[in-house]
Amino acid sequence: MNEQMKTTGRLLIDENMAKYTSWRVGGNAEKMYLPHDKADLVLYIKTLSSETPVFWLGLGSNLLVRDGGISGVVINTRGRLKKMTLQDEGVVYVEAGMSCARVARFCVDNGLVGAEFLAGIPGTMGGALKMNAGAFGSETWDIVKSVEMLNRNGETYFSTENDFKISYRSVKPLKDEWFISVQLKLKQGDSSHSLQKIKELLKKRAETQPVNVPTCGSVFKNPTGDYAARLIESSGLKGYQIGGACVSKKHANFIVNSDKAKASDIEALIKHVQDEVNRQQKIVLETEVCKVGAYL
Q: Quick check: 21 pLDDT over 50?
A: yes
Give the side-chain half-sphere CA count within 13 A for 152.
12
Q: Once rounded to an integer, what is the mean pLDDT over residues 196-217?
A: 92
Examine the residue annotation and report whether 89 is marked as an active-site residue of this protein. no
Cβ–Cβ under 8 Å, residues 60 and 22? yes
Q: Which of 116, 148, 267, 288 is catalytic?
A: 288
Cβ–Cβ under 8 Å, residues 180 and 35? no
Query: pTM for the full model?
Result: 0.91
Q: Which of 66, 95, 169, 267 is catalytic?
A: 169
Cβ–Cβ under 8 Å, residues 122 and 218? no
pLDDT for 201 = 86
Examine the residue annotation and report whether 146 is marked as an active-site residue of this protein. no
Q: Once rounded to an integer, what is the mean pLDDT over residues 50-63?
A: 95
Domain boundaries, the chain: 3-76, 84-208, 228-292
Q: Which CATH architecture has domain 84-208?
A: 2-Layer Sandwich (3.30)
Q: Quick check: 133 pLDDT over 90?
A: yes
pLDDT tens digits, one per residue of 142-155: 999 999 999 999 99
Q: Quick check: 99 pLDDT over 80?
A: yes
Question: Quick one: pLDDT band at residue 4, thresholds 50, 70, 90?
Answer: very low
Q: Which CATH architecture has domain 3-76?
A: 2-Layer Sandwich (3.30)
What is the average pLDDT value for the chain, to the nearest integer? 94
pLDDT for 175 = 85
Examine the residue annotation and report whether 288 is marked as an active-site residue of this protein. yes
Give the residue, 88 or 231, on which the prediction is more confident.
231
pLDDT for 3 = 46
State in Å, rounded, how far the first CA of the chain is from the last one. 31
pLDDT for 2 = 44
Q: Quick check: 266 pLDDT over 70?
A: yes
Q: Quick check: 270 pLDDT over 70?
A: yes
pLDDT tens digits, one per residue of 155-202: 999 999 999 999 999 999 778 999 999 999 999 998 888 889 889 989
pLDDT for 1 = 44
pLDDT for 136 = 84
Question: Quick one: pLDDT band at residue 211, thresholds 50, 70, 90?
Answer: confident
Q: Which of 22, 99, 194, 218 is catalytic?
A: 218
Q: Which CATH architecture has domain 228-292?
A: Alpha-Beta Complex (3.90)
pLDDT for 227 = 97
Question: Quick one: pLDDT band at residue 223, thresholds 50, 70, 90?
Answer: very high
pLDDT for 74 = 98
